Amino acid sequence: MFKHTVRVFIGHTICLGVAAFLSGITCVHALEVNYTNSAHGNATYGVNRSDMPDAYAVGNCAHCHVQHGSVDGSAGAVHGFALFSANLVEGADITYKSTDSVCFQCHTTSNSRQQGGSVPNPDYAETFGGFSENSDQGVLEQYNPDTQLEDSYHNLDEVRIYAAQNFAWFKEYTTPCEACHNPHIARRNKAHVKDPTYTAISLPSDHGNLWGDDAGETMARYGGDYQAPFYYNSTTSYEPGGLLNSDPSKVPDYVTFCNECHGSEKAPIYSTRRERNLVMVNWSAAGDKHGARGRDGKTWLREPYATIGGKSNYVLSCVDCHEPHASPYPFLMRRSINGQPLNLNEPGLGPDKRGFQCLQCHQDDNAMGYGGVNDWARQHHGLGGDSPYSGRNNIGPSGKPLANCDCHGAFEGDIGSGKNPIRCEICHYHGSSVPNPAGEWPATVTPKNGEQKTF
């Protein structure tokens, strides 16, 4: 709040100063960060539980907090923070239900407690990317997706545990949704997708403030290295919301936001589904190439990333590829990336289909006019630059030239040999490099005669 107070003070001071010398000029600054400017506290579309007496105004506290655990003498169960419903999420791999989080009681399209019975909150791919096909509209429904080959979600129980261990304000009964959202200040970004001052997120380390509503809290802080992806089914408009030009100042800095938990310097995050700690993310100049690290050779990209001349790097936003809540695909992959559906009519994004994620921005053989969709021979063989397994680098794990294709089929889970593809994630993931710091194959392959980041 201090930051906000200072901001407002400075804003008003500037207003008064300008007004003193110039007439007819209106000073505009962001809305004050408070409840009545939030989505829940709006007098028109704010919280409005359908079973409450009509004495209560829309947006009133009582729609969420039952101060005495009773409405008109009814003796219901009492819950932490005097909430009208429980935050009972527990267990690592579950089907989510409305009692797992008080938020789910309303943020669902099925029997929502909000007047009208439905609160749609489409996923990021639809809300900001425009991809509305086959979309679950409710947050609760997104957490229980129609499973593709492998769905994924921000596991709320694990979020709860992690937040309780790392953020002092997070209490035993706090809903895990609050790790990212402060319900008392979160704004209705779904109705203002091009205006980050309507952001709905707060840094876990600064729960009392919004994140993304200030100029220094957008992707513009990366000095123009952020290029917004295409809006769905367009090559002339961009996220968020179909802007006519890529505008980093319209996108909250999700890199900083997500890395409050997922950053490489943060405490490990154990995934019960993966049965391991998650790979942590280093988006700095010393980290991933998808982050601030400069590219070390030529690569072959799709638009809008291909034609920008003179750029040594792009800094991607996490939500360019990942959903914040849940996905029918693994690793919270968005259903559409860079203006295209993710699976291109494939039934799913299984282990051999991960390339469909990559080809949204990288040219596969088909894009190069060389081969099929999700074939990657051209990228890896014979083009030089970042094409590693060509010419003198064309050495396999046996130490011999790769003419025998002995990389293919060498990995656990590979589907065959010969020209069958190697799963992208064998070599490409957050933090990956060659030689692999962990020492596993392909550590013996040194296409650049030294360490090379492969993500």
Q: Which residues contribute to the site for another protein (CB under 8 A)?
A: 1, 34-36, 41-43, 46, 53-62, 66-70, 72-73, 75, 78-82, 171-174, 184, 208
Q: Identify which of residues 209 and 454 has a Cβ nearer to another protein in the complex.
A: 209
- Grouping H, G, I as helix, E, B as strand and the rest as coil, residue 131 is coil
CB of 69 to another protein, least distance (A): 5
Count of residues for the chain? 455
CB of 162 to another protein, least distance (A): 18
CB of 28 to another protein, least distance (A): 21
Q: Identify which of residues 207 and 302 has a Cβ nearer to another protein in the complex.
A: 207
User: 152 is written with which tokens?
Assistant: 């994924």
Q: Identify which of residues 128 and 170 has a Cβ nearer to another protein in the complex.
A: 170
DSSP secondary structure code for residue 281 in this structure: B
Contacts of 422 (CB under 8 A, 6+ apart): 407, 408, 411, 414
DSSP secondary structure code for residue 211 in this structure: S
Q: Identify which of residues 168 and 438 has a Cβ nearer to another protein in the complex.
A: 168
CB of 32 to another protein, least distance (A): 8
Q: Identify which of residues 67 and 312 has a Cβ nearer to another protein in the complex.
A: 67
DSSP secondary structure code for residue 326 in this structure: E
Q: Identify which of residues 1 and 344 has a Cβ nearer to another protein in the complex.
A: 1
Contacts of 148 (CB under 8 A, 6+ apart): 328, 329, 343, 347, 348, 349
Q: Identify which of residues 104 and 254 has a Cβ nearer to another protein in the complex.
A: 104
- Grouping H, G, I as helix, E, B as strand and the rest as coil, residue 362 is strand
Q: Which helix (H) or strand (E) is 425 found in, with range?
A: helix 424-427
Q: Which helix (H) or strand (E) is 157 found in, with range?
A: helix 156-166
At position 173, the amino acid (one-letter code) is Y
Q: Distance between CA 410 and CA 412 in Å, rounded?
A: 7
CB of 157 to another protein, least distance (A): 18
CB of 72 to another protein, least distance (A): 5
Q: In sequence order, which ranges of 78-235 are alpha helices (DSSP H)?
A: 124-127, 139-143, 156-166
CB of 100 to another protein, least distance (A): 16
CB of 86 to another protein, least distance (A): 11
Q: Which of 296, 235, 269, 237 is nearest to 433 (CA)?
A: 296
Q: Identify which of residues 70 and 134 has a Cβ nearer to another protein in the complex.
A: 70
Q: In Å, how far are 66, 68, 222, 336 from 56, measured between CA atoms?
A: 12, 15, 45, 41
End-to-end CA distance of the chain: 38
Which residues share a beta bridge with 218?
A: 252
Structural contact between residues 238 and 136, judged by C-beta atoms closer than 8 angstroms: no
CB of 89 to another protein, least distance (A): 15
Q: Identify which of residues 184 and 430 has a Cβ nearer to another protein in the complex.
A: 184
Structural contact between residues 346 and 353, judged by C-beta atoms closer than 8 angstroms: yes
